[in-house]
Amino acid sequence: MEHAVTAFLLAFPALFSIINPLGGAIIFHEVTAGHDMAQKHLLARRVALYSCVVMMAALLAGTYILNFFGISMNALRIAGGLVVAVRAYEMLNAPDSSTQRKQKDAEPVNTATADDLAGYAFFPLTLPFTTGPGTIAVTISLATGRPDNLSQAWIFYAGDSLAVLANTALIWACYSASERMVRVLGHSGQKVVSRMVAFLLLGIGVQIAISGVVPVLHQALAG
């Protein structure tokens, strides 16, 4: 149970920070402005479901695919931590550029017909708008922290999976309530949220990298 709680407490804020469903909801509201509430709610459910599939696939299969190419777990942790930290640093210094890029990616949704709307749920609203390359990199980085012991590994994956499901629920809730969130947060509120989650993500990226650097240093000193 302790391993599951630890895994959840690391995975949930890391995924929440990179997904940023609060900021995403504001853009979601803008790019779906031409559609009625029922269509927005249906689209929000589909995006949440597809996002869950993307994150679970990265969590369960990502490390095995990379290990197939002979990349060690410590190398994955260091590389993943650096990717997360660099991404967070970019978000911290230029949150507007990230927002503008996401808005541009999702722009075709605003002019889509009701029949075409379902086709946009996966691309671009799920990939790359909600769970893009950054989210996939974070999820794989989190998976590198699994214990070598098989029984503990299942507990670890249970904690990470719970974090994925919790973020899926937040994506659905935030996107469904995007209209109300826009009124509450506004543009300035989005900037505040973006900077807060970026700083949190920066710390998580550094922590992941440290978890790979320390064993490598121990091996080097012992040798």
Residue 91 has pLDDT above 80, yes or no: no
Which residue ranges make up each domain of the chain? 2-222
- The span from the CA of 152 to the CA of 5, in Å, is 12
Q: Give the model's pLDDT for residue 99.
A: 59
> What phi, psi does 145 have (nearest 5°)?
-85, 5
pTM of the model: 0.80
Please compute the mean of the pLDDT values over residues 86-100 and round it to a whole number: 70
> pLDDT tens digits for 178-203?
988 888 877 677 777 777 878 887 88
Please compute the mean of the pLDDT values over residues 8-16 and round it to a whole number: 90
> pLDDT tens digits for 138-160?
898 888 777 777 778 889 999 99
Please compute the mean of the pLDDT values over residues 46-74 and round it to a whole number: 88
Cβ atoms of 207 and 81 closer than 8 Å = yes
- The span from the CA of 138 to the CA of 144, in Å, is 10
Q: Give the model's pLDDT for residue 55.
A: 96
User: CA angle at residue 62 from 61 to 67, to 5 degrees?
Assistant: 100
Q: Give the model's pLDDT for residue 30.
A: 82
Cβ atoms of 105 and 28 closer than 8 Å = no
Q: For the chain, give the mean pLDDT.
A: 83
Of 80, 93, 97, nearest to 14 by C-alpha is 80
